[in-house]
Amino acid sequence: MQSIAVKDLMVPKNQYASVTADATLRDAALVLHQAQKLEQSVDPGRHRGRAILVLDEQGSVIGNLSMLNVLRGLLPHYERQKGARAYTKAASRVGSARTFLGTQEERAALWSNPLDNLVDKAGRVRVRELIRPFGDGEIVDEEATLDTALKQMVAGRFQSLLVTRDGEITGILRLTDIYVAISQLLRAGVEE
């Protein structure tokens, strides 16, 4: 894997779906849907994107918006609940997520009818309220090897990494693209 560079697998920034931080949740969901349709039509074998980039007024990437962020946007009070993320992570790790979250739902009444007035809710929530900025561990140089990117993704449990050249974002490296490359290497090794 040393010979495969991150830039060989990344999706260039200008080919990745994006919205501004002022876009609504509805706008973002539609952009993501259109990007997935386009990607599937251009390359049916390639996995569809599960996130979009969020840009500031100057067009610089300030974060991303995943499908999970979009769904969380339908439950706006969830993020305000003290320790909500910690509870969710802890519950998923101990294997009793349904029971644990069921108790939390009853206590906080977070999930009552989240899909009521879906279009109205999605039109009121702004992307800036939902984005998660990228951390240092989610950035990789485009000349880095696939080995380096794989270690970074696994250690950080990331779904994607921002790819940079001289500090400027040039693309996105997705977990699915790494998996496809590794799968091809595995098959090639068996077929030899």
Residue with tokens 């990007």: 35
| The pLDDT of residue 63 is above 60 | yes
Separation between Cα atoms, residue 162 and residue 174, nearest integer Å: 9
pTM score: 0.69
Helix (H) or strand (E) run with residue 170 in it: strand 168-174
* Sign for the pseudo-dihedral over CA of 84, 130, 66, 125: positive
Percent of the chain with pLDDT over 70: 71
What average pLDDT score do residues 55-75 get?
82
Collapsed DSSP state (helix, strand, coil) of residue 134: coil
Task: Report whether 143 contacts 6 (CB < 8 A).
Answer: yes
